[in-house]
Amino acid sequence: MLNKYLDSSARGLAALVAAAVLASTGSQLAIAQPGMQPSSIVGQTANDTAATDAVARLDGPLLSVSSDGKTSTVRVDGRGDARSSKVTENRQMSHSNLQPTGRFVKSGQQLAITVPEDSPALQVGIGLEGPYSAYNGGAAVGVKLAELKAGEQTITADRDGIVFLTNISTTAGAKVTVSGGSRLPVWVQGESTQAGFEADFKTLSDAPFATVIGEHYFADFQRRTVEKVQADKKLNLQKTVAELDQVWGWTNEVYGLSEKAVGTAYKTPSRIYISSPDSGAGLAYATEGKLSFQVSTGAAARLLSGNGTWAIWHETGHTYQTTQYKGSNLTEVTVNISALAIQGKIDPLHPRMDQDAEAIKKYLGLSAVEKDYTAASQMVQLGLFDGLRRAFGPNFYPSLSQAYRVDNALGVSQPKDDAEKWNLFALKTSKVANRDLTPYFTAWGIELTDQTKNALKAYPALKNEIWKNVLAKDTVVENSVPTYDVPTGKISYTGGTVSLGQTSSANITVSALSTIAGGTSKVVRTGILTTKVGVRAGIAYAVIENPSGVQEVISTPVDVNAGQALEFHGYASLYRGYLALSANSAFSAYGNASQANALYPHIEYYTAELRGADGKTVYRASVKGDETIASLVAAFNGKSYSNGQYLIVTSKEPSRIYRYNDTNTPIKNASTTQIFKITDNKLVPATSAPSSN
């Protein structure tokens, strides 16, 4: 089937690529080769309303080269931090902070780099992603980054590799000169011609790579790949890059992200980087910061020739997956939600899922006892997700994705296992569809809790047996989700510094309410969200909503003072969350999505107990090393306390719980047990606490 796919043309999907596998690293997501078996705080400030061109760029070309070819001038645009963007956009993988320079260097060679005085913080990166037999002894060494300072500096390469620069600013670009190493042939969308590129490629006969740069992707291809595509007379860079950028646009459309949004739906402009090593996991794979299209599988040549089709849709899709409904066996399933949407745009007369209609019908025809969704094929499993799109239209998944993003931005607790993911998915999908989807999930063999089923009764019952929407020609639309039109607005805050745990303020103002399409929206609520202490460490936010119920969170940063708080740290002393006393004699608590310390699985890592003066427990929580502190948050957040009560906290390791006493300087205690008496709304250290025993 894979060979049939590889030989297909624009229709692209005569048969699905063989089942995808997780690479041995556990972080690479790969399309399988023939014979392989299947194995939060909002970052965008609404006051900086996103323009059509959201990139902070200076005038002039992206790359220019001196007449002797020894020096390149690089426009290093401000594209934001791809790592932060992954969180705010609620995507599975980061795109790339790397920006191309069009230069290559060998280990031991020196680069002279000049950075203007008024530049934002920049880095230089040198290296290759993946193994290349001719370089670095064939090892996959990756890209090593180093900070740059203003002025001229000399960098000695400790590895063979392509030279990159980074600029994670959102407000400032820079022009940097790079000398040394050797020049690579480069094609830049909107600046280069193919004739000019091919002339450079011929002149630079020793250049081992060629760089192709679009607005949303850029790729480094090995020389032999370019030569092959040239020989096959399939090199059309303008067409290939335009198609890649269209894939980016369509994928964002599916997930409800837009460069015109101003809150959680804002799509930051970080590019997707594509490397082309000799070999790698599967036909192609995706991982943090890059896609890999290998030479050995033919994926690199097919991508460059414009015949990447499903592979690029699929691997791009991995970077966008919504983790809150990507169960433990669904990595290679939900990735294809966007791939199917793209295939439907390109070839609507030949829906990919029709090829698996009989298998889906057979599964749905099983008795409840016989159904095992986790054991079904990946394409049958995908039928559950695609069936929702068929029943509720193209606006279903953008609206669903935005609903998850809004929760994520507001610090709503995330599902911790597959059962919680399915129940939350049922709640979210039913709300977006405005239907009780209990029968749909039952038909697919998904077990929901009684609590979830009772909650879903608030929505209208299904009029049709939508799980029978198997063949495209027989599709029945149950209810078309309204056009996805994200609310927009501006927010301001004039209240000064806030306290850790503060949740409201009268000093938040929202103006310029609208939507991306120019519609109306309203303010649902405003508030303060704090997750840690520090300058710009919290947000003042507003939840705004359009008439069809699509919500958005707009925000602006605020400074956060600690007040009376305990801060929990885990593995390598990394921050995990806090427990604070708030002004209204109630606890405030927050936990991030990280495990306390996975080195202590199933072992109690933190405890927190509020004890009365009579020695009786009022609230108590326990967190194991392989758990987040969600249980502690649930036990204490919003719960009242009284002066004279005792707060007792423990940690498996010493110096893991810091105390703040009305300053932002943490007080570290090497003890694994700390006792505090709440006195005048302060945490006062105590040597003991009363016991009821």
- The tens digit of pLDDT for each residue in 431-464 reads 999 999 999 999 999 999 999 999 999 999 999 9
What percent of the chain is predicted at pLDDT more than 90? 87
Q: pLDDT of 335-348, one tens digit each?
A: 999 999 999 999 88
Integer Cα distance of 563 and 84 in angstroms: 27
**What CATH architecture is 487-561?**
Sandwich (2.60)
Which superfamily, per CATH, for 63-320?
A: Peptidase M60, enhancin-like domain 1 (2.60.120.1250)
What local confidence, expressed as pLDDT, does residue 350 receive? 82
Please count the helices (runs of H) and the strands (runs of E) in the chain.
16, 34
Q: Burial of 561 by CB count in 10 Å (0-12 exposed, 13-18 middle, 19+ buried)? A: buried
**HEC readout, 368-426:** CCCCCHHHCCHHHHHHHHHHHHHHHCCCHHHHHHHHHHHHHHCCCCCCCCHHHHHHHHH
Please state, rounded to an integer, the average pLDDT across all residues of the chain: 91
What local confidence, expressed as pLDDT, does residue 54 receive? 74
DSSP SS3 for 559: strand
Contact 312, 86 (CB under 8 A): no
Highest-pLDDT range among 131-145, 298-312, 586-600: 131-145
* pLDDT exceeds cutoff 50 at 109: yes
Is pLDDT larger for residue 519 or for residue 51? 519
Pairing between β-strand 122-128 and β-strand 182-183 as defined by DSSP bridges = unpaired
- The whole-angstrom distance between residue 95's C-alpha and the CA centroid of its chain comes to 8
* pLDDT exceeds cutoff 60 at 381: yes
Q: pLDDT of 524-539, one tens digit each?
A: 999 999 988 999 999 9
Contact 538, 498 (CB under 8 A): yes
Q: pLDDT of 634-665, one tens digit each?
A: 999 999 999 999 999 999 999 999 999 999 99
Fold of 352-474: Neutral Protease; domain 2 (1.10.390)
What local confidence, expressed as pLDDT, does residue 584 receive? 85
What local confidence, expressed as pLDDT, does residue 355 receive? 93
Is pLDDT larger for residue 115 or for residue 347? 115
Mean pLDDT calculated for residue range 187-215 = 98
DSSP SS3 for 268: coil
What local confidence, expressed as pLDDT, does residue 53 receive? 55
Contact 395, 481 (CB under 8 A): yes
Integer Cα distance of 431 and 410 in angstroms: 18
What local confidence, expressed as pLDDT, does residue 8 receive? 29
Domain locations along the chain: 63-320, 352-474, 487-561, 564-685
* pLDDT exceeds cutoff 50 at 49: no
What local confidence, expressed as pLDDT, does residue 348 receive? 86
* pLDDT exceeds cutoff 50 at 379: yes
* pLDDT exceeds cutoff 90 at 240: yes
Q: Kindly report the CA angle at 596 between 591 and 599, in degrees rounded to 5?
A: 165
* pLDDT exceeds cutoff 50 at 34: no
Integer Cα distance of 131 and 141 in angstroms: 8
* pLDDT exceeds cutoff 70 at 42: no
* Confidence class for position 12, pLDDT limits 50, 70, 90: very low
Contact 63, 101 (CB under 8 A): yes
Provide CB contacts within 8 A for 93, sequence distance 6+.
86, 286, 287, 288, 289, 318, 319, 321
Q: pLDDT of 681-691, one tens digit each?
A: 999 999 999 98
What percent of the chain is predicted at pLDDT more than 70? 92
* pLDDT exceeds cutoff 50 at 561: yes
What local confidence, expressed as pLDDT, does residue 4 receive? 27
